[in-house]
Structure 1
């Protein structure tokens, strides 16, 4: 805490804060609303919340919560499928800890683990493969969730399983791709986002060209930055200066390789291919925003191995996550906020976790919580 206070009291940071206040206040008369910037990644979203960066220039600047962590956007039926797999006999389901509390229609993985399902939290897909090697009589499923920066380790693990003939290992693939998802935001007919801060972790894999396309096609300035609050403050200052100057440019604050990681991309493309559509909880289907295993690796595809039923679009017609994501609505303006969508019954992305903006708003409206309970 002492280090945090000192970082805000340092002269360079104070200068940036003053610039942010001055620049944002000069833009609001023209916009007739606060400047709205989006930090797309989960870690950046958490940094903004934990450091209360929305309080920098309260009347003039607002950070709109981006997609957050990939687990938040898992659609209800995909969680239901994972729950069904986990309750099959002789199955060990493995996944990351952040996935455990994401609810399906009725339950989450943490709850059914308490009733006897063999569900194990792991740190990497390699851990899942090791469990499969140690339990040859069990089917070990890796419930894979994450953005572009996490796909490589899954691809490498599937490749190793194929090379070593580990037939009791499979992947329930829910890897999502942020670039099509960002395009969905920018294509929205109503959008109140003035600039974007994008994660260096993803850019380091895919390179800068996709972001350059967004800047040139949609005239929205973009900064590539890491997830520290200092980096976010600097990115905010740069975005605001561009808006004041009437510019829209891509700035690589994190100095990632312009071409990305070609070796990693080659490995990923050997194992995975884009899905035509992937549903994001409360937001609907986004073209080419999900990945699946190529046919060459079908023996490791849990959707095929367990003959999972076709997904139903269970939540799209009610939740209004896209209007919140694009900065048009505040959470309490959603027609199902609190009643149809609450932490106990999360229909949308931002209610699946206490870190989501809707769950945060839910906590500060106790009368809504009382009604929904």
Structure 2
């Protein structure tokens, strides 16, 4: 099997890498985090309308390059290397993934806006009581004439302060934790009846608590597919954050190696000490395994659902544990300065720690893998 990237995929990686090297250095990122909006909107405009990179995973009929999950993996890995705070995961991977799966008029209407950079999407699915159960939903969508009325609360909605649209999971019927009745809606983020409490997250993003109070939405806001569609886009998002983690693992290793060449103790660089060489060798192994497992998971996103879920859980369990090893090793080698705001390694560590649990911890995914693969 040839696992080489195509010429176009290599070009996409090189284009994004060069752009980020020129515009997304650590000091610039810190300034963006400290700004009122928490980012520079010009970066997203450059990625979309100027460089056209947001078109990579979309079909040519929508103005895209005809790519898919591999292109998302490549982009997410490069964004991870600079711990970018752009809404690529929420808008392109999750929102775009849902629209591609649904197709039809809604995809024709919204995807060109994503590609142009005019449409940004936040995924409002998590609820305080739900943990990782996608069917544990208290938010309701009750039929009302030709539309629906939303009521409920969504927690930790990443990129919501920047979003033009919300992708919302809600229950149209059934009881709590029942798969039947769980649906997905794409709605205008400024619809009457929506309120937000915005805040900065520990890893540098902006997120919101989103509240729906008698929020009336049109009937065509419903995206057909139910819980199966939701599970599919969450699996795609899970592999995408693993790709981001791959880029982060590389930078944790690079930063640690560089530090051990500069930091001296007992008259020599600490990188000459065998114990630290062993630690960095372990970090290299984890980085390579994270990259390999992420590629495997990406290639298995289009297989039957049960097999896809098992593959994604296997990948996420490994990546979560690998990031924990890489992140903790980097901080331990740096000492106290490894968790300061002034040093880049601390920011990489924070994002790696968040990815460990995003869309499910290692323990959760090992349990899901077991349930999917072992006889009852």
TM over 0.5: no
Normalized per residue, the structure richer in helix is 2
TM-score (norm 1): 0.25
Q: RCO (CA 8 Å, sep 6+): is it higher in 1 or 2?
A: 1
Task: Please report the TM-score for the alignment, with normalisation by the length of structure 2.
Answer: 0.25
